[in-house]
Amino acid sequence: MNPSHIEHIGIAVRNLDDSIQFYEKVLGLQCYNIEEVKDQKVRTAFFQVGDTKIELLESTEEDGPISKYIEKKGEGVHHIAFAVENIEEKLRIAQDNGVRLIDKEPRKGAEGLDIAFLHPKSTHGVLTELCEDKTKRRINS
């Protein structure tokens, strides 16, 4: 799939504001964006670390996926997102390799990225996200 880099690491947290404190005060990173993604029932906070972002995820609803995740496993790393080009093709490659797709088609994630998830049962336990910044592609080509 040739990912160019790890676009972000998604971390499930109980309380976004408390967690931001740790990343800002202790790690010395700067939160540059807080965004609600209604579709996924989350509020997200972003920090840039080199080419990679940290995406903190707080559930906005009790029955949301992040809420359920924390109930089962507690706070912690939730998913890893790889930056790819031509995400539709990469999803086809995954499927051709027998990987179970959570999203058969890309959808809109935070920061306007096109995203799709691969099922952790097919990826040795890691919820894996593919994402593509199509605005970037247009600028580059």
Cβ distance 13 to 67 under 8 Å? Answer: no
Distance of CA 29 to the CA centre of its chain: 18
Instruction: Please identify which residue in the block is written with the tokens 């894996």.
Output: 128
Minimum CB–partner distance for residue 58 and Zn ion (Å): 13
- CA pair distance 107, 52, nearest whole angstrom: 21
Q: Which of 11, 13, 20, 81 binds Zn ion (CB under 5 A)?
A: 81
Report the C-alpha gap between 36 and 6 in whole angstroms.
22
Residue nearest to Zn ion (CB): 10
Choose the binding region for Zn ion from 13-21, 33-41, 81-89, 116-124 (rule: CB under 5 A).
Answer: 81-89
At closest approach, how far in Å is the CB of 57 from Zn ion? 8
What does the per-residue mask of binding to Zn ion show for 105-134, with x meaning CB under 5 A? ------------------------x-----
Token pair, residue 125, equals: 């336990």
Residues lying near Zn ion in the complex (CB under 5 A) are found at 10, 81, 129
